[in-house]
């Protein structure tokens, strides 16, 4: 008899999910609306993430992290996002900033990043997007000019998540203006303490509030050669592979947003009475919830499959088409269903869904960004199509 596929988490993973859920119910849920309203980075919760060991999840123990992999990180992000997608960006964006180092950095860089993030000594952000280059990231204008053993970096990055809260940045800049596009960029580790480092304007956003999105501006910042991540002019493949490895985190965030709105709406429709009965008794409502459940459960499979593909892959720069493909599918599908599920949950609460007294309107606003960042869903469809038909 066939053993079939194993679709269950291990006991350890279930226990981990349970402990995160308890933490989120106790500490994150009561603060979620306030963080959304004030749009201030929740330093107290960040500290609690560190104290509970959550910041070290998915970083290799050999470099000072607390172990676990992309799947454990997905569980953490999913659970936090059930209440606050902005706060879920604490672990998600540290990891996004760290992945270039984990993929291509030296052992020394890996230790600094893994141990630093785990213990709360470092917070990281990832600087790829610029004012005139988003989807076409390879068209960036940031420059890196060699000066002796050092590099002089200048440029402006836009829409950088947790900029200002982070102290360490993976920054991509053109290091060889004469080389072919995609082979002309280098990745650097930049510290906020370097002379000429500046944080620019803060965006006033629709959702994921509490997570600052700001410009990062480098004014002739001198960066030593030991802060180059990977090889010179290899930065673009590092940036793209980083996104492959990080997209399951965005997908997990989207999944958590959808699940959080769904759970709240299920309880609500069981209580709310119209025409003399709970609105959950109406077939028009029940079918909406059946459709939402199908989407959420399907997204969960896609997210965990993509995270597992990362955990089974080598952490190097060798292209792994299966990871790109599954990560793009998970990110695109989970974010599309997060948008549709949260919109339906607002509908299920009627007028109460539209007001800030209940969390579903916040979750609907939070859902939108998951269709946009780390590559819009148009770009994800291009990645998926490329896996099917080939070509760049």
Ligand X SMILES: Cc1cc2nc3c(=O)[nH]c(=O)nc-3n(C[C@H](O)[C@H](O)[C@H](O)COP(=O)(O)OP(=O)(O)OC[C@H]3O[C@@H](n4cnc5c(N)ncnc54)[C@H](O)[C@@H]3O)c2cc1C
Residues noted as catalytic: 374
Query: Alpha-carbon distance 283 to 276, whole Å?
Result: 15
Of residues 251, 347, 356, the one with CA closest to residue 296: 251
Closest of 179, 310, 194, 287 to residue 233, by C-alpha? 179
- State how far the Cα of 82 lies from the Cα of 84, in Å rounded to an integer: 6
Interface stretch with ligand X, choices 27-35, 123-131, 255-263, 279-287 (CB under 6 A): 123-131
Find the shortest distance in angstroms from Cβ 157 to ligand X: 6
Among positions 375, 380, 383, 384, the unique one binding ligand X when judged by CB under 6 A:
375
Quick one: how many helices (H) and strands (E) in the chain? Answer: 11, 10
Per the CB < 8 A criterion, the answer to whether 94 and 117 are in contact is: yes
Instruction: Report, in Å, the least distance between residue 131 CB and ligand X.
Output: 8
By Cβ distance, which residue is nearest to ligand X?
A: 134
- DSSP line for 239-255: HHHHHHHHHHHHHHHHH
The SS3 assignment for 30 reads: helix
242 touches ligand X by CB under 6 A: no
Q: How far is the CB of 205 from ligand X (least distance, A)?
A: 6
Alpha-carbon gap, residue 74 to 78, rounded angstroms: 6
Minimum distance from CB of 3 to ligand X (Å)? 41
CB–CB of 311/71 below 8 Å? yes
Residue of 308, 343, 376, 387 interacting with ligand X (CB under 6 A): 376
Instruction: Return the number of the residue (274 or 378) whose C-beta is nearest ligand X.
Output: 378
Cβ contacts of residue 272 below 8 Å, gap of 6+? 278, 279, 349
Judged by CB under 6 A, does residue 126 bind ligand X?
yes
Binding-site size for ligand X (CB under 6 A) equals: 20
Give, as ranges, the residues between 143 and 162 that touch ligand X (CB under 6 A): 159-161
In the shown chain, the binding pattern of residues 80 to 99 toward ligand X, with x for contact by CB under 6 A and - for none, equals --------------------
Please tell me whether residue 127 binds ligand X under the rule CB under 6 A.
yes
* SS3 state of residue 2: coil
Nearer to ligand X, 293 or 385 (CB): 385
Q: Which of 94, 129, 324, 335 binds ligand X (CB under 6 A)?
A: 129
User: Looking at 373, 380, 383, 384, which residue binds ligand X (CB under 6 A)?
Assistant: 373
Considering only the stretches 110-118, 128-136, 184-192, 330-338, report the one whose residues sit in contact with ligand X under the rule CB under 6 A: 128-136
Is 235 a binder of ligand X (CB under 6 A)?
no
How buried is residue 343: exposed, middle or buried, by Cβ count under 10 Å (0-12/13-18/19+)?
A: middle
Distance CA 230, CA 178 (A): 20
372 is an interface residue for ligand X by CB under 6 A: yes
Q: Which of residues 182-221 bind ligand X (CB under 6 A)?
A: 205, 213
Phi then psi dihedrals of residue 264, to 5 deg: -65, -45
The number of residues in the chain equals 392
Q: Which residues have CB under 8 Å from 325's CB, separation 6+?
A: 383, 384, 387
Q: Would you count residue 325 as binding ligand X (CB under 6 A)?
A: no
- Please give the structure tokens belonging to residue 109: 């860089």
Q: Taking a C-beta distance cutoff of 8 angstroms, is the pair 341, 258 a contact? A: yes
| Region from 15-23, 48-56, 124-132, 340-348 binding ligand X, contact rule CB under 6 A | 124-132
**Residue number with CB closer to ligand X (318 or 392):** 392
CB 188 within 8 A of CB 242: no
**At closest approach, how far in Å is the CB of 259 from ligand X?**
21
- 134 in contact with ligand X (CB under 6 A): yes
Q: How far is the CB of 331 from ligand X (least distance, A)?
A: 12
Q: How far is the CB of 94 from ligand X (least distance, A)?
A: 11
Among 135, 273, 274, 286, binds ligand X (CB under 6 A): 135
Interface positions with ligand X (CB under 6 A): 125-129, 134-135, 159-161, 205, 213, 369, 372-376, 378-379
């Amino acid at each position: 008899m066939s053993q079939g596929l194993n679709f269950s988490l291990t006991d350890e993973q279930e226990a981990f999910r349970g402990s995160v859920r308890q933490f989120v119910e106790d500490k994150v849920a009561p603060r979620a609306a306030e963080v959304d309203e004030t749009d201030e980075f929740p330093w107290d919760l960040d500290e609690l993430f560190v104290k509970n060991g959550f910041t070290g999840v998915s970083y290799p123990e050999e470099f000072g992290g607390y172990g676990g992999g992309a799947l454990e990180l997905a569980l953490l992000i999913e659970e936090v996002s059930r209440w606050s997608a902005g706060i879920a960006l604490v672990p998600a964006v540290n990891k996004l900033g760290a992945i270039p180092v984990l993929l291509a950095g030296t052992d020394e860089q890996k230790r600094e990043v893994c141990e630093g993030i785990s213990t709360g000594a470092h917070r990281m952000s990832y600087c790829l997007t610029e004012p005139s280059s988003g989807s076409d990231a390879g068209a960036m204008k940031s420059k890196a000019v060699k000066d002796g053993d050092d590099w002089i970096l200048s440029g402006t990055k836009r829409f950088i998540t947790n900029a200002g809260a982070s102290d360490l940045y993976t920054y991509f800049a053109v290091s060889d203006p004469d080389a072919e596009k995609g082979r002309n960029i280098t990745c650097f580790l930049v510290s906020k303490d370097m002379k000429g480092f500046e944080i620019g304007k803060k965006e006033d956003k629709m959702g994921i509030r509490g997570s600052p999105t700001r410009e990062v501006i480098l004014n002739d910042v001198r960066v030593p050669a030991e802060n180059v991540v990977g090889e010179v002019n290899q930065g673009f493949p590092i940036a793209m592979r980083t996104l492959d490895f990080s997209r399951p985190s965005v997908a997990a965030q989207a999944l958590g947003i959808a699940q959080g709105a769904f759970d709240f709406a299920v309880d609500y429709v069981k209580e709310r009475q119209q025409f003399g009965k709970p609105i959950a008794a109406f077939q028009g409502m029940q079918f909406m919830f059946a459709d939402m459940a199908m989407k959420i459960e399907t997204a969960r499979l896609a997210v965990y499959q993509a995270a597992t593909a990362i955990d089974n892959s080598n952490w190097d720069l060798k292209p792994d088409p299966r990871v790109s493909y599954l990560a793009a599918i998970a990110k695109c599908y989970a974010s599309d269903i997060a948008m549709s599920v949260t919109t339906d949950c607002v509908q299920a609460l009627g007028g109460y869904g539209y007001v800030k007294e209940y969390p579903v309107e916040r979750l609907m606003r939070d859902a939108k960004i998951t269709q946009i960042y780390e590559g819009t869903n148009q770009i994800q469809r291009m990645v998926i199509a490329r896996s099917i038909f080939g070509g760049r």
